[in-house]
Amino acid sequence: MSNVDTLLAKYKIDRPPENVLRLGKLIQGAFASNVQEIAAIIKADPALSARVMKVATRGRDIDMDMDSAVARIGVHQITLVVLTELLLHAVTKTFATMLSLVLEAKDVPNAGAAAVTGCIRFEGQANGRVFLRIPCGAAAAVVPRFLGQELPMAPAELLPDVVGEILNIVGGNFKSNLVDAGLSCSLSVPQVNTRSGFSADAGDDEHHLSLSLGAEGIGLFLDLIISPLANQLNAQK
């Protein structure tokens, strides 16, 4: 039993799921592995396989094997997809535990409508930012679920604080997965505002992946932007 496993057992903390650990190892080794090795790890995870295929085929109905898909999209895009899986794990866990909502990938209408938008940055051996957007119209459904008590003020007034805290928890969880994968980084304090017509403003050298999720009539949007990891990983060696 490793030292970390001993501590997890001592404090009765669940070990991260196997797929999260596997993805962490994939990020760690992505730049030192060949296409076949990366493809083999991805194939062991159905959700990740589906997402890699979707990115490689750009959503079109093309017959492609995993080796070709990995070779086609390249290691930076693979890293983005893997980090997105780790982020998704953190988001779904947070919503299931704190709001009793089982989120699924879903098309959410009115992506440009007014939404409370939170942004958190991670910096270190992995660099990027995460955006979480919850439409203002969902406040009445989201806020009481999160606070689970009589509210001191209208849900709409509390939504920015709730989005900030959800993002804080999601960010912390995501960061812990990165650190356990060997990518040490720190988190910024979440910045939250209310706006319409979101634009992520990804730079030329950055990679951006956007998702919409929903459950029980509540929809939300998630964006992950990452800077290339190669330099940091090479410097680490």
Partner 1 sequence: MSKKILTVDDSKMVRMIVTSTFQPFDCVVVGAADGAEGVEVALAERPDIIFLDITMPVLNGIETLAKIRATPEIAAIPVVMLTAESDGQRIGMADQLKVSGYIPKPFKGEQLIELTKGIIPLALKAAPPKAAPAPPKPQLPKLPLPNR
Joined tokens for residue 22: 């596997």
Find the binder of partner 1 among 79, 84, 94, 117 (CB under 8 A).
Answer: 94
Site for partner 1 contains 21 (CB under 8 A): no
CB-CB contact of 141 with 217 (8 Å):
yes
CB of 181 to partner 1, least distance (A): 9
SS3 call for 130: strand
Kindly state whether residue 125 participates in binding partner 1, applying the rule CB under 8 A. no
71 near partner 1, rule: CB under 8 A: no
Distant-in-sequence, close-in-space partners of 231: CB < 8 Å, separation ≥ 6: none
Interface positions, 180-199, toward partner 1 (CB under 8 A): 180, 187, 189
Numbers of helices and strands, H then E, in the chain: 8, 7
Q: Which is nearer to partner 1, 17 or 148 (CB)?
A: 148
Are 157 and 142 within 8 A, CB to CB?
A: no
| C-alpha Rg value of the chain to the nearest Å | 18
Of 135, 155, 171, 214, the one binding partner 1 (CB under 8 A) is 171
173 binds partner 1 (CB under 8 A): yes
Dihedral-angle region of residue 59 (phi above 0 means left; psi in -120 to 50 means alpha; beta otherwise) = left
Give the residues lining the site for partner 1 (CB under 8 A).
3-4, 7-8, 10-11, 13, 93-94, 96-98, 146-149, 158, 161-162, 164-165, 168-173, 175-177, 179-180, 187, 189
